A = this chain, B = another copy of it.
Amino acid sequence: MPYRYDYPHPAVAVDIVVFTIDDADLKVLLIRRRGPPFAGGWALPGGFVGIDESLKRAAWRELREETGVSAGILEQLHTFGHPQRDPRERVISVAYLAPVPADRLRPEPASDAREARLFSVSDLPLLAFDHAKILRLARERLRQKLEKSVLPLELMGASFTLTELQRACELILGVTLDKRNFHKKVHIMDVIEATGEEWREGQHRPAKLYRVKSRRDLTDR
């Protein structure tokens, strides 16, 4: 028992909400817990912060270790500190939001012998701890960002069609948008550019492909 303090210290963890768009649905990455508490149950990926590790770095590492996913953007969401949120000991958890394009999840949970899976946000299992609460707040935040007219470019792959981008917005906002107004707005924003390529699929006119003009850093403080 080597670590001793004059007064009690809580444990500090991070939990990561990975959102992606897959199969025309907004999905979250969850892991199955192996040990107690909530053994066998589903939970957000996460874990304890190393004593010399920044919070963001801990989030990045834990996500990587538990799911094999390397997050591009990690945005701090909220810190959850209810005294009884973990039955083992006092655990304060800093939650992070990580929008990841589906194509970065593909070779996916082939990592740490942990079962990881995408779940549609409209068909979630029971979650361990207060993770349902964390997820609810994460969805809210995602929506709020869109309402500030920030496009969910972090969720898009290397190239995408305007219809795909529109679907992403619709899934997050939970409404349907007008195609012409959407195209107009996106072009005025001037944040994406045509790649010149086209995407052929099905028996209809091919769609132009676009890419993000300059990926911006959503830095953490």
Which residues of A are in contact with B by a Cβ distance under 8 Å?
A: 1, 3-12, 48-49, 51-55, 76, 78-83, 90, 92, 94, 133, 137, 221
What is the oligomeric copy number? 2
Further pairs besides A55-B79, A92-B92: 8, Cβ < 8 Å: A1-B4, A1-B5, A3-B8, A10-B51, A76-B78, A78-B221, A80-B221, A81-B94
A-B contact pairs, 17 of them (CB 8 A): A1-B4, A1-B6, A3-B7, A4-B5, A9-B10, A10-B49, A10-B51, A12-B12, A12-B92, A49-B81, A51-B83, A53-B83, A55-B92, A76-B79, A78-B221, A79-B94, A137-B221
- Known contacts: A7-B3, A10-B9. The answer to whether A81 contacts B55 by CB under 8 A is yes
Name the distance in Å between A187's Cβ and chain B's nearest Cβ.
25
Contacts of A92 in B (CB 8 A): 12, 49, 55, 92, 94
Which of B1, B11, B54, B78 is close to A9, meaning CB atoms less than 8 Å apart? Answer: B11
Which of B4, B7, B81, B83 touches A48 (beta carbons < 8 Å)?
Answer: B7
* Closest-CB distance, A11 to chain B (whole angstroms): 6
Contacts of A1 in B (CB 8 A): 4-6
